[in-house]
Amino acid sequence: MTRDEHVVVADHVTRRFGAVVALHDVSLSVGQGELVGLLGPNGAGKTTLLSLVAGLRKPDAGTVRLFGGDPRDARSRLSLGTTPQETGLPSTLRVQEVVALVAGHYAAPMPTGELLERFGLQDLARRQTGGLSGGQKRRLAVALALVGRPRLVLLDEPTTGLDVEGRHVLWQALRDYHAEGATVLLTSHYLEEVEALAHRVVVVGHGRVLADGGLADVVALVARRRVLVTVPADALPRLERLPGVEVLEAAGRPEGVRVTLLAADADELVRTLVGQDAPFRDLEVRGASLEEAFLALTASDGVLEPGRAAAEPVQEVRS
Protein backbone atom coordinates (compact mmCIF):
# COMPACT_ATOMS: atom_id res chain seq x y z
CA MET A 1 0.00 0.00 0.00
CA THR A 2 1.44 3.36 -0.91
CA ARG A 3 1.25 6.28 1.48
CA ASP A 4 -1.47 7.83 -0.69
CA GLU A 5 -3.76 4.86 -0.04
CA HIS A 6 -3.41 5.32 3.70
CA VAL A 7 -6.31 7.03 5.34
CA VAL A 8 -4.24 7.94 8.40
CA VAL A 9 -0.48 8.33 8.63
CA ALA A 10 1.29 9.33 11.84
CA ASP A 11 4.99 9.77 11.28
CA HIS A 12 7.35 10.01 14.28
CA VAL A 13 4.76 11.89 16.29
CA THR A 14 5.50 13.27 19.73
CA ARG A 15 2.97 15.19 21.82
CA ARG A 16 3.60 16.54 25.32
CA PHE A 17 1.34 18.10 27.92
CA GLY A 18 3.76 20.03 30.11
CA ALA A 19 6.10 17.46 31.58
CA VAL A 20 3.92 14.52 30.45
CA VAL A 21 4.94 12.88 27.20
CA ALA A 22 1.56 11.59 25.99
CA LEU A 23 2.98 10.24 22.71
CA HIS A 24 6.60 9.49 22.06
CA ASP A 25 7.83 9.06 18.51
CA VAL A 26 4.74 7.19 17.35
CA SER A 27 4.51 6.02 13.75
CA LEU A 28 1.36 4.33 12.55
CA SER A 29 -0.51 4.02 9.27
CA VAL A 30 -4.08 2.92 8.74
CA GLY A 31 -5.04 1.73 5.28
CA GLN A 32 -8.30 2.13 3.43
CA GLY A 33 -10.91 -0.35 4.75
CA GLU A 34 -9.01 -1.46 7.84
CA LEU A 35 -10.73 -1.97 11.19
CA VAL A 36 -8.06 -1.19 13.76
CA GLY A 37 -8.32 -1.39 17.54
CA LEU A 38 -6.03 0.77 19.64
CA LEU A 39 -5.69 -1.13 22.88
CA GLY A 40 -4.05 0.26 25.98
CA PRO A 41 -4.47 1.07 29.66
CA ASN A 42 -5.52 4.45 31.07
CA GLY A 43 -3.16 7.22 30.15
CA ALA A 44 -1.48 5.23 27.37
CA GLY A 45 -1.94 8.01 24.82
CA LYS A 46 -4.88 6.63 22.80
CA THR A 47 -7.13 9.68 23.10
CA THR A 48 -4.22 11.97 22.33
CA LEU A 49 -3.51 10.02 19.15
CA LEU A 50 -7.15 10.23 18.04
CA SER A 51 -7.24 13.96 18.80
CA LEU A 52 -4.23 14.50 16.52
CA VAL A 53 -5.87 12.47 13.74
CA ALA A 54 -9.11 14.45 14.14
CA GLY A 55 -7.16 17.72 13.91
CA LEU A 56 -8.13 18.80 17.43
CA ARG A 57 -4.52 19.05 18.51
CA LYS A 58 -1.16 19.50 16.81
CA PRO A 59 1.84 17.27 17.36
CA ASP A 60 4.92 18.85 18.96
CA ALA A 61 7.10 16.86 16.57
CA GLY A 62 6.41 14.64 13.59
CA THR A 63 3.47 14.80 11.21
CA VAL A 64 -0.06 13.46 11.00
CA ARG A 65 -1.88 13.11 7.67
CA LEU A 66 -5.57 12.44 7.20
CA PHE A 67 -6.67 11.43 3.69
CA GLY A 68 -3.31 12.76 2.57
CA GLY A 69 -3.88 16.26 4.01
CA ASP A 70 -3.37 18.16 7.23
CA PRO A 71 -6.07 17.09 9.73
CA ARG A 72 -6.28 20.68 10.94
CA ASP A 73 -7.52 21.72 7.51
CA ALA A 74 -11.33 21.29 7.48
CA ARG A 75 -11.21 19.92 3.92
CA SER A 76 -9.23 16.89 5.16
CA ARG A 77 -12.00 16.14 7.64
CA LEU A 78 -14.92 16.05 5.19
CA SER A 79 -15.00 12.23 5.25
CA LEU A 80 -14.34 11.88 8.97
CA GLY A 81 -16.94 10.82 11.51
CA THR A 82 -15.97 10.77 15.16
CA THR A 83 -17.37 10.25 18.64
CA PRO A 84 -15.22 11.32 21.56
CA GLN A 85 -15.13 9.57 24.92
CA GLU A 86 -17.71 11.93 26.39
CA THR A 87 -20.44 13.69 24.48
CA GLY A 88 -23.29 15.99 25.38
CA LEU A 89 -26.69 15.80 23.69
CA PRO A 90 -29.28 18.63 23.75
CA SER A 91 -31.63 17.18 26.34
CA THR A 92 -34.88 18.75 25.12
CA LEU A 93 -34.50 17.63 21.51
CA ARG A 94 -35.97 14.35 20.36
CA VAL A 95 -33.65 11.63 19.09
CA GLN A 96 -34.80 12.11 15.48
CA GLU A 97 -34.33 15.89 15.79
CA VAL A 98 -30.74 15.48 16.96
CA VAL A 99 -30.03 13.21 14.00
CA ALA A 100 -31.69 15.69 11.63
CA LEU A 101 -29.64 18.53 13.13
CA VAL A 102 -26.39 16.70 12.43
CA ALA A 103 -27.63 15.44 9.03
CA GLY A 104 -28.22 19.05 7.99
CA HIS A 105 -24.45 19.50 7.72
CA TYR A 106 -24.06 16.85 5.04
CA ALA A 107 -24.93 16.72 1.35
CA ALA A 108 -25.97 13.04 1.35
CA PRO A 109 -26.63 11.97 4.95
CA MET A 110 -27.83 8.55 5.98
CA PRO A 111 -31.64 8.57 6.35
CA THR A 112 -32.61 8.99 10.02
CA GLY A 113 -34.71 5.81 10.10
CA GLU A 114 -31.89 3.72 8.68
CA LEU A 115 -29.34 5.14 11.11
CA LEU A 116 -31.57 4.57 14.15
CA GLU A 117 -32.35 1.05 13.05
CA ARG A 118 -28.69 0.17 12.67
CA PHE A 119 -28.16 1.14 16.30
CA GLY A 120 -31.39 -0.36 17.66
CA LEU A 121 -32.81 3.07 18.45
CA GLN A 122 -35.79 3.13 16.07
CA ASP A 123 -38.36 2.87 18.89
CA LEU A 124 -36.82 5.87 20.62
CA ALA A 125 -36.96 8.26 17.64
CA ARG A 126 -39.52 10.53 19.34
CA ARG A 127 -38.02 10.39 22.84
CA GLN A 128 -36.26 13.51 24.15
CA THR A 129 -32.59 12.69 24.58
CA GLY A 130 -32.78 13.83 28.22
CA GLY A 131 -35.06 10.84 28.81
CA LEU A 132 -32.66 8.25 27.40
CA SER A 133 -30.68 5.89 29.59
CA GLY A 134 -26.92 6.32 29.71
CA GLY A 135 -26.45 3.36 27.36
CA GLN A 136 -29.03 4.68 24.88
CA LYS A 137 -27.32 8.09 24.89
CA ARG A 138 -24.01 6.43 24.20
CA ARG A 139 -25.44 4.45 21.28
CA LEU A 140 -26.95 7.63 19.85
CA ALA A 141 -23.65 9.49 20.26
CA VAL A 142 -21.81 6.78 18.32
CA ALA A 143 -24.59 6.64 15.71
CA LEU A 144 -24.14 10.38 15.09
CA ALA A 145 -20.59 9.69 13.88
CA LEU A 146 -22.09 7.83 10.92
CA VAL A 147 -24.73 10.38 9.85
CA GLY A 148 -22.54 11.84 7.12
CA ARG A 149 -21.51 8.40 5.78
CA PRO A 150 -17.85 9.04 6.63
CA ARG A 151 -15.09 7.02 4.99
CA LEU A 152 -13.18 7.05 8.29
CA VAL A 153 -14.76 6.58 11.71
CA LEU A 154 -12.77 7.43 14.85
CA LEU A 155 -14.29 6.18 18.08
CA ASP A 156 -12.87 6.67 21.56
CA GLU A 157 -14.05 3.92 23.93
CA PRO A 158 -17.32 3.43 22.00
CA THR A 159 -18.99 1.01 24.40
CA THR A 160 -18.15 2.60 27.75
CA GLY A 161 -21.20 2.38 29.99
CA LEU A 162 -23.12 -0.02 27.74
CA ASP A 163 -24.65 -3.25 29.00
CA VAL A 164 -23.96 -6.51 27.18
CA GLU A 165 -26.89 -6.14 24.78
CA GLY A 166 -26.13 -2.52 23.99
CA ARG A 167 -22.51 -3.42 23.36
CA HIS A 168 -23.47 -6.18 20.93
CA VAL A 169 -25.87 -3.93 19.01
CA LEU A 170 -23.16 -1.32 18.68
CA TRP A 171 -20.50 -3.84 17.67
CA GLN A 172 -22.80 -5.18 14.95
CA ALA A 173 -23.56 -1.68 13.68
CA LEU A 174 -19.83 -0.98 13.42
CA ARG A 175 -19.10 -4.32 11.75
CA ASP A 176 -21.84 -3.67 9.19
CA TYR A 177 -20.61 -0.17 8.46
CA HIS A 178 -17.07 -1.43 8.07
CA ALA A 179 -18.28 -4.20 5.75
CA GLU A 180 -19.70 -1.48 3.51
CA GLY A 181 -16.16 -0.22 2.95
CA ALA A 182 -15.43 2.22 5.78
CA THR A 183 -12.19 2.46 7.69
CA VAL A 184 -12.62 2.29 11.46
CA LEU A 185 -10.13 3.22 14.16
CA LEU A 186 -11.32 2.74 17.73
CA THR A 187 -9.79 2.72 21.17
CA SER A 188 -10.56 0.33 23.96
CA HIS A 189 -9.33 -0.86 27.32
CA TYR A 190 -10.94 -4.19 26.71
CA LEU A 191 -9.26 -7.05 24.97
CA GLU A 192 -12.72 -8.60 24.54
CA GLU A 193 -13.94 -5.60 22.59
CA VAL A 194 -10.93 -5.49 20.35
CA GLU A 195 -11.24 -9.24 19.77
CA ALA A 196 -14.89 -8.84 18.83
CA LEU A 197 -14.26 -6.09 16.31
CA ALA A 198 -10.77 -5.43 15.12
CA HIS A 199 -8.79 -7.16 12.42
CA ARG A 200 -5.62 -5.41 13.41
CA VAL A 201 -4.61 -4.46 16.92
CA VAL A 202 -2.20 -1.75 17.96
CA VAL A 203 -1.16 -1.95 21.59
CA VAL A 204 -0.26 1.44 23.04
CA GLY A 205 1.42 1.98 26.40
CA HIS A 206 3.35 4.87 27.91
CA GLY A 207 2.91 6.89 24.74
CA ARG A 208 4.48 4.28 22.49
CA VAL A 209 3.29 1.64 20.07
CA LEU A 210 4.23 -1.60 21.81
CA ALA A 211 2.78 -4.10 19.39
CA ASP A 212 1.08 -3.90 16.02
CA GLY A 213 -0.29 -6.82 14.13
CA GLY A 214 -3.08 -9.19 13.25
CA LEU A 215 -5.69 -9.89 15.89
CA ALA A 216 -4.66 -13.50 16.63
CA ASP A 217 -1.00 -12.63 17.00
CA VAL A 218 -1.52 -9.70 19.32
CA VAL A 219 -4.12 -11.53 21.38
CA ALA A 220 -1.66 -14.39 21.85
CA LEU A 221 0.92 -11.85 22.93
CA VAL A 222 -1.25 -10.23 25.57
CA ALA A 223 -3.57 -13.07 26.59
CA ARG A 224 -1.03 -14.88 28.67
CA ARG A 225 -1.37 -16.59 32.03
CA ARG A 226 0.40 -16.08 35.31
CA VAL A 227 1.62 -19.22 37.00
CA LEU A 228 2.84 -18.92 40.59
CA VAL A 229 4.92 -21.60 42.28
CA THR A 230 7.20 -21.84 45.28
CA VAL A 231 10.49 -23.64 44.57
CA PRO A 232 13.82 -24.13 46.35
CA ALA A 233 16.25 -21.32 45.43
CA ASP A 234 18.49 -23.66 43.41
CA ALA A 235 15.55 -24.61 41.12
CA LEU A 236 15.05 -21.03 39.92
CA PRO A 237 17.61 -21.13 37.07
CA ARG A 238 15.79 -24.15 35.63
CA LEU A 239 12.54 -22.19 35.49
CA GLU A 240 14.30 -19.29 33.83
CA ARG A 241 15.46 -21.59 31.04
CA LEU A 242 12.01 -22.97 30.20
CA PRO A 243 11.05 -22.05 26.62
CA GLY A 244 8.08 -19.69 26.16
CA VAL A 245 8.11 -18.75 29.83
CA GLU A 246 9.13 -15.46 31.40
CA VAL A 247 10.01 -15.01 35.06
CA LEU A 248 8.11 -11.88 36.12
CA GLU A 249 9.05 -11.90 39.76
CA ALA A 250 10.96 -14.04 42.25
CA ALA A 251 10.59 -13.28 45.96
CA GLY A 252 12.61 -15.02 48.68
CA ARG A 253 10.47 -16.66 51.37
CA PRO A 254 11.45 -18.89 54.32
CA GLU A 255 9.98 -21.92 52.49
CA GLY A 256 11.69 -21.19 49.17
CA VAL A 257 11.37 -18.69 46.32
CA ARG A 258 7.89 -17.57 45.26
CA VAL A 259 8.15 -17.28 41.50
CA THR A 260 5.64 -15.60 39.19
CA LEU A 261 5.89 -16.88 35.65
CA LEU A 262 4.17 -15.52 32.57
CA ALA A 263 3.32 -18.24 30.09
CA ALA A 264 1.51 -18.40 26.77
CA ASP A 265 0.29 -21.89 27.63
CA ALA A 266 -0.13 -22.42 31.38
CA ASP A 267 -1.28 -26.05 30.96
CA GLU A 268 1.86 -26.89 29.01
CA LEU A 269 4.01 -25.20 31.67
CA VAL A 270 2.42 -27.19 34.48
CA ARG A 271 2.85 -30.43 32.49
CA THR A 272 6.53 -29.56 31.98
CA LEU A 273 7.04 -28.86 35.67
CA VAL A 274 5.45 -32.17 36.61
CA GLY A 275 7.37 -34.01 33.87
CA GLN A 276 10.66 -32.58 35.09
CA ASP A 277 9.84 -33.65 38.60
CA ALA A 278 10.41 -30.04 39.64
CA PRO A 279 10.06 -29.66 43.41
CA PHE A 280 7.34 -26.99 43.30
CA ARG A 281 4.49 -26.31 45.74
CA ASP A 282 1.53 -23.92 46.17
CA LEU A 283 0.72 -23.81 42.46
CA GLU A 284 -1.61 -20.99 41.36
CA VAL A 285 -2.70 -20.16 37.82
CA ARG A 286 -4.26 -16.78 37.13
CA GLY A 287 -5.23 -14.89 34.03
CA ALA A 288 -2.67 -12.21 33.33
CA SER A 289 -4.57 -8.95 33.28
CA LEU A 290 -4.17 -6.64 30.35
CA GLU A 291 -2.35 -4.35 32.74
CA GLU A 292 0.16 -7.12 33.40
CA ALA A 293 0.45 -7.93 29.75
CA PHE A 294 1.20 -4.25 29.10
CA LEU A 295 3.75 -4.28 31.88
CA ALA A 296 5.38 -7.28 30.29
CA LEU A 297 5.38 -5.56 26.92
CA THR A 298 6.97 -2.45 28.37
CA ALA A 299 9.46 -4.18 30.65
CA SER A 300 12.93 -2.94 29.88
CA ASP A 301 14.44 -6.35 30.54
CA GLY A 302 12.93 -7.51 27.27
CA VAL A 303 10.46 -9.97 28.75
CA LEU A 304 8.95 -10.77 25.40
CA GLU A 305 11.96 -10.42 23.21
CA PRO A 306 15.20 -10.77 25.12
CA GLY A 307 17.83 -8.47 23.77
CA ARG A 308 15.47 -5.85 22.36
CA ALA A 309 16.11 -2.52 24.00
CA ALA A 310 13.25 -0.62 25.63
CA ALA A 311 14.00 2.34 23.40
CA GLU A 312 12.89 0.27 20.44
CA PRO A 313 9.77 -1.41 21.73
CA VAL A 314 7.55 -2.07 18.73
CA GLN A 315 6.66 -5.72 18.39
CA GLU A 316 5.92 -6.48 14.76
CA VAL A 317 3.70 -9.48 15.12
CA ARG A 318 2.27 -9.76 11.65
CA SER A 319 2.38 -13.33 10.52
Q: Which residues sit at the interface with ligand ATP, rule CB under 6 A? A: 17, 20, 22, 40, 42-48, 189
> Could you tell me the smallest distance in angstroms from the CB atom of residue 188 to ligand ATP?
9
Q: Residue 120's closest CA among 174, 79, 191?
A: 174
Beta bridge partners of 255: none
Q: Which CB, 231 or 290, lies closer to ligand ATP? A: 290
Beta bridge partners of 184: 35, 153
- Whole-angstrom distance, CA of residue 229 vs CA of residue 248: 12
> Could you tell me the smallest distance in angstroms from the CB atom of residue 23 to ligand ATP?
7
> Could you tell me the smallest distance in angstroms from the CB atom of residue 206 to ligand ATP?
9
- Whole-angstrom distance, CA of residue 143 vs CA of residue 150: 12
> Could you tell me the smallest distance in angstroms from the CB atom of residue 17 to ligand ATP?
3
Residues in the chain: 319
Sequence-distant contacts of 270-273: CB under 8 A, at least 24 apart = 270/227, 272/242, 273/229
Q: Which CB, 20 or 101, lies closer to ligand ATP? A: 20
Query: Are 226 and 262 spatial neighbours (Cβ–Cβ below 8 Å)?
Result: yes
Identify the DSSP state of 94: B
> Could you tell me the smallest distance in angstroms from the CB atom of residue 40 to ligand ATP?
5
Backbone dihedral region for residue 55 (phi beyond 0: left; psi -120 to 50: alpha; all else: beta) = left
> Could you tell me the smallest distance in angstroms from the CB atom of residue 178 to ligand ATP?
22
Q: Which CB, 142 or 247, lies closer to ligand ATP? A: 142
Query: Could you count the other beta carbons within 10 Å of the beta carbon of residue 234?
Result: 10
